[in-house]
Amino acid sequence: MTDDGDNVKKLPVRFKNPVPEDRTLLFPHEVGKWDKCHHEKFVIDSSKAEVECGTCGEKLNPMWVLGRLAGRETNFHETHARYAEEIKRLSERTRTKCDNCGKMTRISRR
């Protein structure tokens, strides 16, 4: 570590992949920092075609918001499908291993 004179010490931190010399823009995932707000809630003004964050009030790109909402919907449908498959698989089971004795036992359906 080196000392810059005003009590600031540079830490020996390096990127996993070095940043090219011609690049000045870094994405948050490259430096490990995120903005304060993750923009999870949206306030939509359809008459003006504007979207703002419901938490911090920042104006957001409507196409970015559309992409986020589409991603959420896709995740919801995928999770729902996995859940339905698991419920079906579990409902077809007739036996399970007993926690007490370790033997297989019938599943009672009430």
Better-predicted residue by pLDDT, 39 or 19: 39
Annotated domain spans of the chain? 35-91
Q: Is 27 left (phi over 0), alpha (psi -120 to 50) or beta?
A: beta
What beta strand segments (E) does the chain contain? 2-3, 9-10, 42-45, 50-53, 59-60, 95-97, 104-106
- How far apart CA 78 and CA 59 sit, in angstroms, is 30
Average pLDDT over residues 83-97: 90
* Overall pTM > 0.75: no
Average pLDDT over residues 16-32: 64
- How far apart CA 4 and CA 8 sit, in angstroms, is 6
Identify the pLDDT of residue 99.
87
Identify the pLDDT of residue 62.
92
pLDDT tens per residue across span 44-82: 998 998 999 998 888 999 999 999 999 999 999 999 999
Residue for token digits 């077809």? 92
